[in-house]
Amino acid sequence: MRTIEFYIPSLAYIFGLLLTIQIVQPVQNWALGVEIFGSLLFFPHAVRVLTAWLYGWKSIFLLMPGVVLGHYMILGLPGFTNAAAIGMIAGLVIVPLTFECFKRCGFDFFATAMHVPKFIPVFLIGSFASIFNAAIFNGFTGGQSFAMLIFVIGDIGGLFVVCLFLMLIMRRQRTTADSQSGVAG
The predicted model gives 75-99 an average pLDDT of 89
Q: What is the pLDDT of residues 115-134, one digit of tens each?
A: 777 889 999 999 999 999 88
Q: Is the pLDDT of residue 157 over 90?
A: yes
What pLDDT does 147 receive? 78
Query: What are the respective helix, strand and coil percentages of the chain, to the nearest 5?
Result: 80, 0, 20
pTM above 0.95, yes or no: no
Q: Give the pLDDT band of residue 140 (cuts 50, 70, 90).
A: low
- Own/partner pairs for 88-93, CB < 8 Å, 24+ apart? 90/133, 90/136, 90/137, 90/140, 91/48, 91/67, 91/133, 92/48, 92/59, 92/60, 92/63, 92/64, 92/67, 93/60
Q: Is the pLDDT of residue 102 over 90?
A: yes
